[in-house]
Amino acid sequence: MINKNKNKKSITNFTEKAVPVFLLLCAIISVLTTIGILFTLLRESITFFSKVSLSDFYFGTDWSPWTEKFGVAPLIAGTLLITFIAICVALPIGIASAIFLSEYASQRTRKIIKPILEILAGIPTVVYGFFALTFVSPLLGSFITEMKIFNALSAGIVVGIMIIPMIASLSEDAMNAVPNSLREGALGLGATRLEVAIKVIIPAALSGIIASVVLALSRAIGETMIVTIAAGATPNLTLDPTQSVQTLTAFIVQGATGDTSYHSTIYYSIYAVGITLFAFTLIMNILAQYISRKFREDY
């Protein structure tokens, strides 16, 4: 028995020492991967900006890289337009779903609806893209006659559908973290369940809700396949959602094809667009963390 206990202690001690080392290695790999991606983007982007000035790139309004015109404003405008449409679709549906799951649904209903809602997050984005192109665009075209088959509206709507689970799930988790004593106190004062949800629960869970929205915005900005398939490849500087537009991610897909020669200006422009997209998503993530810390409520 003494020998068995010694063996168990030696195995336990080895595990206790090995597990932290393994977890540290995983964390280091994640950090090094991020640094490697950033280094690659910066190295190639610096080469591009040695040929094209920053002012011409970020303030130019004509994007036609195959004719040496590198004004990225149309791509940024297309990205922001689709993201705006997506959040207009996802925000009310996601928050309403979170309120229902948190405040109205029974435990059995929640167990059924929440997994079904989160299935949307597991559908491949290429499927969403063809859904937007073959179903949503023709459907919208039957109401809006001037709409093109490739347009920002259908792409934005489907991107919004895709990010609904992120907003709904994270917001519901934030609402469930609010103590029941606040609900009971508000109900005891005569408030209805809707008033409790809107005037008590949402303000108390505001940090988590805003963080979920910002993360969903970051996800929408970085979406690739839906906008590549459904929005088209026309870099228009327009706010008209019925027109074909091109986003930052869609150009990266287009520019990464075999028609782009290695070490050409177009090749380096892919990395310049990539570093721009990286900056957008980085700002969104930092903003989400700041909001989450600033408005966090401790109970």
DSSP secondary structure, 164-199, as one string: HHHHHHHHHHHHHTS-HHHHHHHHHTT--HHHHIII
Mean pLDDT of 224-231: 86
pLDDT on residue 292: 72
Instruction: Give the percent of the chain with pLDDT over 70.
Output: 93
pLDDT on residue 228: 86
The residues near 8 (Cβ < 8 Å, ≥ 6 apart) are none
CA 102 to chain centre: 23
What's 1's DSSP letter?
-
pLDDT on residue 296: 66
> Does residue 2 surpass a pLDDT of 60?
no
> Does residue 6 surpass a pLDDT of 60?
no
Mean pLDDT of 185-201: 82
What's 70's DSSP letter?
E
Per the listing, tokens 């900056």 go with 279
pLDDT on residue 101: 86
Mean pLDDT of 202-230: 86
Q: Name the pLDDT band for 118 (thresholds 50, 70, 90).
A: confident
In this structure, the number of other CB atoms found within 10 A of the CB of residue 297 comes to: 15
> Does residue 29 surpass a pLDDT of 90?
yes
Mean pLDDT of 246-275: 82
Mean pLDDT of 8-31: 79
pLDDT on residue 287: 79
pLDDT on residue 158: 92
Contact indicator for 214, 236 with CB cutoff of 8 Å: no
In this structure, the number of other CB atoms found within 10 A of the CB of residue 119 comes to: 10
Mean pLDDT of 245-263: 79
Q: Name the pLDDT band for 7 (thresholds 50, 70, 90).
A: low
What's 261's DSSP letter?
P
Give the type of residue at 238.
T
Q: Name the pLDDT band for 87 (thresholds 50, 70, 90).
A: very high
pLDDT tens digits for 269-282? Answer: 888 888 988 888 88
Give the type of residue at 272.
A
pLDDT on residue 28: 93
Mean pLDDT lowest for which of 40-49, 82-91, 241-250, 253-262?
253-262
pLDDT tens digits for 132-147? Answer: 888 988 888 888 877 8
Give the global pTM. Answer: 0.85
Higher pLDDT, 18 or 297: 18
Report the chain's mean pLDDT, rounded to a whole number. 83
pLDDT tens digits for 37-68? Answer: 888 888 888 888 888 888 888 888 888 888 88
